[in-house]
Structure 1
Amino acid sequence: MNKIRVRVADWQKDIAEIRRIRETVFIAEQSVPPELEWDADDATAVHFLAFEGDFPIGTARLLPDGHIGRVSVLKDWRGMKVGDALMQAVIAEAEARGLKQQMLSAQVQATAFYERLGFSLVSEEFLEAGIPHVDMVRHSA
């Protein structure tokens, strides 16, 4: 396996790859309605792409208020630390922008993953797009 690398994406130039990953993970695999997946926040978010070699395999976004979302990795690359690399890049970018607090709504099954990265639970379980979620927060030093 090649080394995983993550870079800040250009929404205009990289939209096809971002859409391909998010549509595969959220719409096809998890049955999220397309109208819930795509929103106005995409235009103002900082997007990230994870690559193995030259092939995009994961994506995430950071909103100006410190919300992290749309963290997704293609099935064949899960369990290979791609999510870790993506999240470390997002957190580093948030901190570079002076966002001392990062927030996200995590799917309940991914809670332990985010806890390993320093996030703490701050809500009860709730449904989002029919999937159980919890809100989590991380504070930078």
Structure 2
Amino acid sequence: MTVHISKTTDIDACLSLRLDVFVREQMVPMDEELDDLDPVSTHFLAQTEDGQNIGTARVYEQGHIGKIGRVCVAKSHRGTGLGKRLIETCLNDLRTRPHITQAKLGAQNHAISFYENLGFRVIGGEYMDGGIPHHDMVRAL
């Protein structure tokens, strides 16, 4: 099955995926999932050949740091490498911005090794986000 990942302005499609994964599946409170960063972020949407939305991520800038967030993959497509492709797409986008020298994300603890395999390293201590333990992670671009 061919999957395409591209920039999108269809934030509603991204939000629909995020609500399925984060709010319904992981029980993150709705008011913690929705924030004021969507309008200032670049969004990516993964779709199947027939137009099914199956993954999303966003990036935004904080000075010289590109922040990757709201990365999710539909349950039906987990374990296919799509999460890795979404992160690589975000990193490639950030590399086109000369002033961005570092990528940063907040990783759910169970996903730390996934991000380490993509070159990220843990910084700082554990914190709770949406009721889920996280660690910040960074990598050079």
Measured against the shorter chain, the TM-score band is over 0.9
Q: Would you tell me which structure has more helix in proportion to its own residues?
A: 1
Q: Select the residue among 40, 44, 52 that pairs with 1:44.
A: 40
> In the TM superposition, what is the alpha-carbon distance from 1:134 to its structure 2 partner?
0.4
**Matches of 1:104 and 1:16 in 2, distance apart?**
22
Q: Contact (CA 8 Å) 1:27, 1:33: kept in 2 or not? A: yes
Q: SS at 1:39's partner residue?
A: coil
Q: SS at 1:40's partner residue?
A: coil
**Residues 73-112 of structure 1: pairs in structure 2 closer than 5 A:** 73-98=73-98, 99-112=100-113
Specify the code of the residue in structure 1 equivalent to 2:97.
R
Matched residues, number: 136
Q: Contact (CA 8 Å) 1:4, 1:85: kept in 2 or not? A: no
Q: Select the residue among 19, 22, 44 that pairs with 2:18.
A: 22
Instruction: Identify the residue that residue 4 of structure 1 maps to in structure 2.
Output: 3
Instruction: Identify the residue that residue 54 of structure 2 maps to in structure 1.
Output: 57
Unmatched tracts of structure 1, length 5 or more:
none
Unmatched tracts of structure 2, length 5 or more:
none
**Matches of 2:117 and 2:84 in 1, distance apart?**
9
Instruction: Identify the residue that residue 131 of structure 2 maps to in structure 1.
Output: 130
**Structure 1 residue 33 corresponds to structure 2 residue 29:** yes
CA RMSD of the aligned region, Å?
0.9
**Matches of 2:117 and 2:2 in 1, distance apart?**
21
Q: Would you tell me which structure has more strand in proportion to its own residues?
A: 2
CA shift digits 1:77-100 (9 cap, x unpaired): 000011011111000001111211
TM-score by length of 1: 0.93
**Matches of 1:51 and 1:88 in 2, distance apart?**
16
**Matches of 2:116 and 2:15 in 1, distance apart?**
27
Runs (4+) of structure 1 exceeding 3 A deviation are none
**Matches of 1:19 and 1:57 in 2, distance apart?**
12
